[in-house]
Amino acid sequence: EDQVTQSPEALRLQEGESSSLNCSYTVSGLRGLFWYRQDPGKGPEFLFTLYSAGEEKEKERLKATLTKKESFLHITAPKPEDSATYLCAVNSGGSNYKLTFGKGTLLTVNP
Amino acid sequence: GAGVSQSPRYKVAKRGQDVALRCDPISGHVSLFWYQQALGQGPEFLTYFQNEAQLDKSGLPSDRFFAERPEGSVSTLKIQRTQQEDSAVYLCASSLARASGVYEQYFGPGTRLTVT
């Protein structure tokens, strides 16, 4: 059974203070690892898909990286508008559609 | 373009009532998914459609849950005889994914169901 563990559960940063969120996974045959952002009262918003170890993707202040056991979401010089819950999900094995999510990291960026 | 839409956004039901939740996917997306998200948790998979065919319903919690997508577009998730443990946010997602390849799933805003 696929398992996804995100840490920390919550992270509080000052504006401009860079940091990283971690997503550790245990799967049989990773097909893809996904990062989503979720604001309160809204559905998850797609950010990135990573397919293989060593892959990196960037979008504005966010950069996602992938190894064989974990993924990191690096946030450079965050702003208050980056405050949200960041969810990691994996797709693996014989199913090319089912996503298994972690519980998320609640990020708060103070001005 | 228009994203995934869901209605109603909020639903309060008395225990034992039946509810129906609607999802309008992104136009042209053949794949549609339902997820359940409890407070403080990540979404959990419920069921998957490819066009009008329900290919996987392994995540449906009980036989009180039923989903359909009769014309391969709009989908309805129905919950019969609601129980308090059914209280959650129900998310719909759609994707261009087909039999091969992995594509991104785009989520709607969700329906928050509260059973009293």
Give the distance from residue B97's alpha carbon to the nearest chain A alpha carbon, in angstroms. Answer: 7
Give me the pLDDT at residue A62, please. 98
Give me the pLDDT at residue B98, please. 54
Residue of B102, B103, B113, B114 best to disrupt the A interface, most CBs of A under 10 A: B102
Give me the pLDDT at residue B75, please. 98
Per-residue pLDDT reduced to its tens digit, B3-44: 999 999 999 999 999 999 999 999 989 999 999 999 999 999
| Residue contact A43–B42, C-beta within 8 A | no
Instruction: Please say if the pLDDT value at position B1 is more than 70.
Output: no
Chain B residues with CB under 8 Å of A36 CB are 107
Per-residue pLDDT reduced to its tens digit, B53-109: 999 999 999 999 999 999 999 999 999 999 999 999 999 999 986 554 677 899 999
| Residue contact A97–B91, C-beta within 8 A | no
**For residues A91 and B102, which has the higher predicted lDDT (pLDDT)?**
A91
DSSP letters along chain B, please? ----EEE-SEEEE-TT--EEEEEEPPTT--EEEEEEE-TTS--EEEEEEETTEEEE-TT--STTEEEE-TTSS-EEEEESS--GGG-EEEEEEEE---SSS----EE---EEEEE-
Q: Any residues with CB less than 8 A from the CB of B69 and at least 6 apart, and which?
A: B32, B49, B51, B52, B54, B75, B76
| Residue contact B91–A99, C-beta within 8 A | no
Per-residue pLDDT reduced to its tens digit, A27-64: 888 889 999 999 999 999 999 999 999 999 999 999 99
Residue of A42, A47, A97 best to disrupt the B interface, most CBs of B under 10 A: A97
